[in-house]
Amino acid sequence: MTENKLVSAILGKIKPHLSDDTDLSPREVMFDIANQRALLIRNELNKGRTIDSDIIQDLGCVAMEAVDPAECCDVQTGCKVMRTVLEIPETIELHNKDGITRIGPVNKTLREFSKTTLEGSKWVGSGKYTTQEIYAYRSNNRIYLVSNNDKHKFIDYINVRGVFEDPKDVTPFTTCGDGATCYSSDNKYPLKAWMYTYIENILMQKYVMAYQLPTDVLNDGGDNTVAK
């Protein structure tokens, strides 16, 4: 199901019961859907469950640029590091890791880059078998590449995949070739199938309480109990 269809389904059920001066907009419903989705996914993944492909978004070919590592307006160190041109959207916040599932070459048949941290990047490639490795870390909302050799400096694009806080945040990223955006509200919404009904029920209950509607709105007038 797309985001637009999910919004329409919720508005179609709740709007007939609202007064004309009630301002429940599609934008507000989209915002609530994204928040509830993030909560459900965070709870699922923090139970140690595997990340379902249905909730992963692909940022396509992410452009890289060479910048001074000082990243200050008037300070230059004379060195260059590689980082993504665009900021990477916020991912689902987990207990012990972020929601990035892949940082690697645009050729997805090749092995992904090793992940490290800003602090850990100082020691990359110091091992006997890691001198040729390319490492990636996230800092200042961007992804950086580091290596003991210079081959990472010739990488123009990388591929990034992940579970992002709000699916719409990946809209600035485009696919290769046709330049189509990586996400629109008419694309399949990145959500596991069982969560659609759950989100709809949660939001319907929220709006019934917020706008002081009769609870039988939730179960099509069958009785006056709140649907579970």
Q: Hey, where are the domains in the chain?
A: 3-50+190-217, 57-170
Tell me the residue type at 154.
F
Spatial distance between the Cα atoms of 18 and 212, rounded to a whole number of angstroms: 9
Q: Are 104 and 113 in contact (CB under 8 A)?
A: yes
Once rounded to an integer, what is the mean pLDDT over residues 58-68? 92
Spatial distance between the Cα atoms of 82 and 67, rounded to a whole number of angstroms: 6
127-154 tens-digit pLDDT: 666 678 899 999 989 999 988 888 889 9
Rounded to two decimals, the pTM is: 0.84
* 3 state DSSP class of 198: helix
Spatial distance between the Cα atoms of 45 and 25, rounded to a whole number of angstroms: 31
The pLDDT assigned to 222 comes to 40
Cβ neighbours of residue 166 closer than 8 Å, sequence gap 6 or more:
34, 38, 89, 90
Spatial distance between the Cα atoms of 17 and 207, rounded to a whole number of angstroms: 10
β-sheet with 100-104: strand ranges across = 100-104, 157-162, 57-67, 81-84, 142-147, 134-139, 114-115
Q: Where are the alpha helices (DSSP H) in the chain?
A: 3-14, 26-45, 193-210
Beta bridge partner(s), residue 141:
none
Spatial distance between the Cα atoms of 83 and 69, rounded to a whole number of angstroms: 10
The pLDDT assigned to 225 comes to 40
Is 121 or 31 the better-scoring residue by pLDDT? 31
Which CA distances in Å does 8 have to 16, 108, 195? Answer: 12, 36, 16
- Report residue 227's pLDDT band, with 50, 70 and 90 as the boundaries: very low
Is the pLDDT reported for residue 201 higher than 60? Answer: yes
Is the pLDDT reported for residue 124 higher than 90? Answer: no
Spatial distance between the Cα atoms of 217 and 53, rounded to a whole number of angstroms: 34
The mean pLDDT of the chain is: 86
Spatial distance between the Cα atoms of 159 and 16, rounded to a whole number of angstroms: 45
Spatial distance between the Cα atoms of 103 and 137, rounded to a whole number of angstroms: 9
Is the pLDDT reported for residue 223 higher than 60? Answer: no
